[in-house]
């Protein structure tokens, strides 16, 4: 028999003058797998109520403590999957009872309960009163009408934003024999007496009053007597449910549980409850939505006809798309608008100084709409976009996503329109379908197949320092990593391992060429060598043999820079052409984000990105994002490369439209952009935490060896006379020293390594650099390129760092996701998940898994080893996934999953896979399974919505059996 403690939903205790609550997960345990619409009854009393609960519910109850609220399921329920589960909450009241004292750790309740005569009744009514259909009071368990008055007066309404139906009050009265008087006459007499006593309190808190007589005839079976009570309660609930349907307040089980949890938090914190806003706790309104709406409406500020026939109707459709994702409750559109969007729209209209008639027009449009959930809202918005397709052919924006009017765009299409990442997932069914036509103008576009990052996968980040010709050092490092991984991934470019790449100066040129142009590391080396040979040539052919400081100073004085910028412009244009940085190229298909740095003249740091700065907040950083506003103003990749490589003195500053003159990004302290890269990754993927792998590649450094402060220094007499030549040479040398200090990325790395523990680098963080004994080669020393490449190869040939980076990148190609909800056991929580490789099925995946199997690679779930690829599949046709069973103590207990390979690192230490270690709560949150009201990208919110990948019939059974191979 189950313990009576397991049915308790909320305990209320007293600690001094304060009240403490102890909630449990009882409600979610009951309704976890149910998809129906529950009805909730609240029964109040003592012994008579307990007797009724024995016949009405599934659990035999023992003695109840005053202050405990229990939840039980209807005894007649045939299955937990019933369409209408009946829930009974019972509250026990005793004469002169008071809350027990407790010193246990709980939630301090801020709601004023001091003057309440029945604290459990008040607490229940505040939390679950709005979701209750019937309040049933057993009058025989009370001290007559006086206690009934106390119960009704203790029933408190929590202020709600929605006009929900009031519960019905049922008073149960016992009678000795059925022949005393007619039932209807007795009901009228008792009901009249109750109404006279309660007065105006009754209609203000309850929609109706009914009296039920329990016959105490011994010849009448108890089961029959309580069946009549149950039928009455269900009939009363039916009347309330009809009103709930009319007012859009009949909630599904998963919504019911979530709203109950939100109501408890408002009770704890003494806050009013907004059910519509409670449905958006895990899916908040985009914080810049007002600015996007304001800029959209500003286009039609003087065109009244366009506002009424196009802009405002389309705005309403976009708001409904955001308001009703799959899984959302079918609230009335006008309720959603008033609670979520009206303040935003009103502020936008006021900022544009539009007349108030437009506010009323928006409300009228919304009122005419019907609740649309899931795919219905998406289909309706698509029809709305197609209806205005001709208008969209003349409307473009790179600052606002014109599909949703709520976010900044990240992905441009070849027609000129750009859409945000959320709308890309909406329109492509989370990456399952390609985009062949623009959703706005309906024009055919170059096929865009979105491949987003899986929700449970982490982020890999690459950061490359600047340094002129010394950019050969990070190129050689990446080349060595690619060669190390070639036995597992022979034709897989190393840049495909990274989700974000940030570079400065020559580092910026490398990331632009590798990620946007698709150049291999060898091609990037050839590009750097050719560029250096052509660009670092003196302006005057007849003095090329003289490169002293005086000649350099003369060049700067006469021409503004040592080297001509036209040669650089011509070469960069030959590499990147007229392609735009924020444009349709191969990088978005891989999902790679690219950023390069620049410095404004006279000051100010700028970041130029291929995602237009989406998701970033400039106010919290020391730099600004260069954001374009329309396709005609988009920066070319050539401009970005020219801006980030404009080293002062070496080249003239480059002019960007709308920004002005900019120079090398090293001047604003971003020559080592690793900290900027980590900030950008958090802005782009706020739920991913720290990067899985952060590779920071330097361009060489000299270990400073300052003189001892105790060493003697001799006194020198002041120099007599003045030499202009020596002064100029000293000035040039000092200028070169200053520029060199800006280019020393190792200083920034050392300072960051000394930060407090909360800001230290991630676990899988790699700083790769080459140390020089005396001095590093100059930025324009073309003759040092081959020497630097050989020096880098020899330095890392004896180092274990290349192997560690390779092992980390290989392990993060695998991620873990759940395929079923965790199951609570008596002393643990178990779940079934799968380890998945993010590579698509093909020759590359098949070679990778075959190589891992040959090398006897193993996954480690905690300390238990599971061989990689236990069952031989043709991965040219099927993706890799390996199912494991995990058992942990609780939802917040961490469990690591790692991969051990051979031939990469110097030892066979297992390396964590992507986003490891995990918690079951974190996984369910990341996969959206706790978003009971839907996800903003229309993704799955339950395991049943995950598409199953087909497997050959011959091995399907064996694959299912392997689930238990990784139990911990």
> In degrees rounded to 5, what are phi and psi of residue 607?
-125, 125
* Region 806-827 average pLDDT: 92
Question: Could you report the per-residue pLDDT of 289-301, keeping only the tens digit for each?
Answer: 999 999 999 999 8
| Structural tokens at position 32 | 């976890």
Question: Could you report the per-residue pLDDT of 656-677, keeping only the tens digit for each?
Answer: 988 889 998 888 777 899 989 9
Residue 173's pLDDT is what? 86
Residue 178's pLDDT is what? 52
Residue 704's pLDDT is what? 63
Contacts of 199 (CB under 8 A, 6+ apart): none
590 neighbors 451 (Cβ within 8 angstroms): yes
Question: Could you report the per-residue pLDDT of 721-772, keeping only the tens digit for each?
Answer: 545 555 555 555 555 555 555 556 565 556 555 554 434 444 589 999 999 8
Task: Give CA–CA dist 645/625, Å, rounded.
Answer: 17
Residue 745's pLDDT is what? 55
* Region 297-316 average pLDDT: 93
Residue 407 pairs in a beta bridge with none
664 belongs to the catalytic site: yes
| 3-state secondary structure (DSSP) of residue 403 | coil
Catalytic residue among 377, 397, 505, 883: 505
Residue 124's pLDDT is what? 93
Query: Which residue, among 125, 123, 65, has the nearest Cα to 97 in the 3D structure?
Result: 65
| Structural tokens at position 303 | 């065109």
Residue 161's pLDDT is what? 65
Measured between alpha carbons, how far is residue 588 from residues 496, 515, 544, 688 in Å? 12, 10, 44, 19
Q: Is the pLDDT of residue 442 over 60?
A: yes
Residue given tokens 């019933």 in the structure block: 82
Residue 713's pLDDT is what? 45
Measured between alpha carbons, how far is residue 89 from residues 46, 52, 151 in Å? 13, 12, 15
| 3-state secondary structure (DSSP) of residue 518 | coil
Task: Give CA–CA dist 720/714, Å, rounded.
Answer: 18
Which pLDDT band holds residue 617 (cuts at 50, 70, 90)? low
Contacts of 875 (CB under 8 A, 6+ apart): 841, 842, 845, 846, 848, 849
Residue 738's pLDDT is what? 56
Name which of 56-60, 118-122, 310-314, 383-387 the model is least confident about.
56-60
Residue given tokens 């309104």 in the structure block: 285
Residue 541's pLDDT is what? 58
Burial class of residue 221 in the structure, from the number of CB atoms within 10 Å of its CB (0-12 exposed, 13-18 middle, 19+ buried): exposed
* Region 596-612 average pLDDT: 89
Residue 134 pairs in a beta bridge with 41, 168
Q: How many other C-beta atoms are found inside a 10 Å radius of the C-beta of residue 775?
A: 9
Question: Could you report the per-residue pLDDT of 451-503, keeping only the tens digit for each?
Answer: 778 999 999 999 999 999 999 999 999 999 999 999 999 999 999 999 999 99
The DSSP call for residue 446 is E
Half-sphere exposure of residue 454: CA atoms within 13 angstroms, side-chain side: 20
Q: Which of 384-393, 772-781, 866-875 reaches the highest mean pLDDT?
A: 384-393
* Region 261-272 average pLDDT: 91
**Rounded percentage of the chain residues whose pLDDT exceeds 90:** 49
505 belongs to the catalytic site: yes
Q: Is the pLDDT of residue 281 over 70?
A: yes
Average pLDDT over all residues of the chain: 84
Contacts of 872 (CB under 8 A, 6+ apart): none
Domains of the chain: 4-269 (3.40.50.300), 289-448 (no CATH), 460-541+562-704+744-805 (3.40.1090.10), 813-966 (no CATH)
Residue 493's pLDDT is what? 94
Name which of 308-312, 839-843, 947-951 the model is least confident about.
947-951
Task: Give CA–CA dist 59/6, Å, rounded.
Answer: 10
Residue 812's pLDDT is what? 95
Contacts of 443 (CB under 8 A, 6+ apart): 393, 415, 437
Catalytic residue among 141, 639, 664, 780: 664
* Region 201-209 average pLDDT: 82
């Amino acid at each position: 028999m189950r313990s009576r403690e397991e049915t308790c939903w909320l305990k209320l205790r007293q600690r001094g003058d304060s009240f403490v609550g102890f909630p449990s997960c009882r409600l979610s345990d009951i309704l976890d797998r149910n998809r129906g619409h529950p009805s909730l009854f609240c029964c109040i009393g003592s012994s008579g109520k307990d007797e009724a609960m024995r016949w009405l519910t599934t659990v035999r109850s023992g003695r109840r403590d005053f202050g405990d609220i229990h939840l039980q399921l209807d005894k007649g329920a045939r299955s937990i999957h019933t369409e209408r589960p009946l829930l009974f909450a019972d509250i026990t009241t005793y004469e002169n009872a008071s809350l027990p004292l407790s010193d246990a750790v709980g939630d301090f309740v801020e709601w004023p309960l001091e003057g309440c005569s029945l604290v459990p009744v008040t607490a229940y009514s505040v939390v679950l009163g709005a979701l209750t259909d019937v309040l049933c009071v057993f009058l025989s368990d009370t001290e007559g009408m006086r206690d009934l008055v106390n119960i009704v007066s203790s029933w408190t309404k929590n202020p709600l934003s929605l006009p929900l139906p009031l519960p019905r009050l049922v008073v149960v009265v016992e009678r000795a024999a059925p022949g005393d008087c007619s039932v209807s006459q007795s009901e009228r007499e008792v009901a009249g007496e109750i109404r006279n006593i309660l007065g105006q309190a009754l209609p203000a808190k309850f929609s109706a009053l009914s009296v039920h007589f329990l016959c105490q005839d011994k010849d009448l079976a108890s089961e029959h007597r309580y069946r009549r009570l149950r039928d009455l309660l269900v009939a009363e609930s039916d009347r309330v449910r009809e009103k709930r349907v009319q007012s859009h307040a009949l909630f599904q089980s998963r919504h019911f549980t979530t709203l109950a949890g939100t109501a408890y938090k408002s009770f704890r914190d003494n806050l009013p409850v907004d059910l519509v806003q409670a449905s958006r706790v895990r899916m908040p309104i985009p914080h810049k939505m007002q600015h996007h709406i304001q800029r959209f409406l500003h286009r039609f500020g003087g065109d009244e006809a366009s506002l009424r026939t196009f802009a405002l109707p389309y705005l309403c459709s976009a708001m409904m798309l955001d308001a009703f994702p799959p899984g959302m409750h079918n609230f009335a559109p006008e309720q959603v608008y008033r609670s979520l969007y009206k303040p935003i729209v009103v502020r936008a209209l006021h900022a544009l100084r539009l007349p108030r008639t437009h506010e009323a027009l928006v409300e009228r449009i919304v009122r005419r709409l019907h609740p649309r959930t899931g795919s219905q809202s998406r289909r309706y918005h698509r029809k709305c976009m197609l209806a205005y397709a001709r208008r969209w052919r003349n409307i473009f924006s790179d600052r606002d996503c014109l599909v949703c009017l709520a976010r900044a765009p990240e992905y441009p299409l070849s027609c000129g329109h750009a859409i945000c990442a959320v709308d890309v997932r909406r329109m492509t069914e989370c990456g399952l379908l390609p985009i062949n036509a623009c959703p706005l103008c309906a024009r055919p576009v170059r096929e865009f197949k979105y491949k987003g990052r899986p929700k449970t996968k982490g982020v890999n980040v690459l950061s490359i320092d600047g340094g002129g010709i010394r950019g050969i050092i990070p190129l050689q490092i990446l080349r060595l990593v690619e060669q190390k991984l070639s036995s597992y991934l022979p034709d897989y470019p190393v840049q495909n391992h990274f989700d974000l790449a940030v570079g400065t100066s020559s580092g910026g040129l490398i990331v632009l060429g590798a990620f946007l142009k698709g150049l291999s590391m060898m091609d990037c080396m050839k590009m750097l060598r050719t560029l250096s040979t052509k660009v670092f040539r003196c302006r005057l052919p007849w003095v090329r043999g003289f490169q002293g400081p005086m000649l350099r100073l003369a060049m700067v004085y006469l021409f503004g820079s040592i080297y001509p910028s036209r040669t650089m412009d011509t070469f960069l244009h030959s590499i990147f052409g007229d392609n735009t940085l924020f444009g349709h190229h191969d990088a978005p298909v891989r999902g790679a984000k690219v950023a390069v740095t620049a410095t404004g003249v006279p000051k100010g740091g700028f970041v130029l990105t291929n995602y237009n700065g989406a998701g970033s907040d400039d106010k919290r950083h020391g730099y600004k994002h260069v954001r374009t506003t329309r396709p005609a103003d988009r920066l070319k990749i050539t401009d970005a490369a020219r801006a980030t490589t404009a080293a002062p003195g070496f080249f003239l500053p480059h002019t960007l439209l709308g920004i002005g003159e900019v120079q090398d990004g090293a001047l604003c302290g971003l020559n080592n952009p690793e900290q900027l890269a980590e900030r950008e990754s958090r802005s782009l993927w706020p739920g991913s935490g720290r990067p899985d792998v952060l590779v920071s590649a330097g361009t060489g450094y000299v270990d400073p060896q300052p003189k001892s402060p105790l060493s003697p220094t001799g006194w020198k007499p002041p120099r007599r006379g003045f030499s202009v030549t020596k002064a100029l040479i000293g000035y040039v040398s000092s200028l070169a020293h200053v520029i060199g200090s800006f280019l020393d990325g190792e200083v920034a790395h050392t300072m960051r390594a000394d930060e407090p523990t909360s800001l230290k680098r991630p676990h899988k963080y790699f700083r790769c650099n080459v140390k020089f004994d005396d001095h590093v080669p100059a930025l324009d020393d073309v003759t040092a390129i081959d020497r630097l490449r050989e020096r880098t190869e020899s330095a890392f040939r004896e180092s274990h760092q290349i192997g560690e980076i390779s092992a980390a990148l290989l392990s993060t190609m695998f991620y873990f996701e759940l395929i079923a909800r965790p199951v609570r056991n008596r002393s643990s929580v178990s779940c079934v998940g799968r380890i998945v490789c993010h590579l698509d099925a093909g020759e590359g995946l098949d070679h990778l898994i075959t190589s891992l199997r040959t090398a006897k690679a193993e996954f480690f779930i905690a300390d238990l080893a599971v061989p990689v690829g236990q069952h031989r599949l043709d991965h040219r046709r099927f993706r890799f996934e390996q199912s494991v069973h995990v058992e942990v103590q609780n939802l917040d207990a961490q469990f690591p999953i790692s991969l051990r390979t051979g031939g990469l690192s110097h030892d066979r230490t297992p390396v964590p896979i992507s986003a490891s270690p995990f918690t079951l709560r974190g996984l369910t949150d990341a996969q959206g399974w706790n978003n009971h009201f839907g996800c903003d990208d229309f993704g799955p919110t339950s395991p049943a919505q995950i598409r199953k990948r087909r497997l050959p019939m011959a091995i399907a059974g064996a694959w299912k059996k392997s689930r238990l191979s990784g139990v911990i």
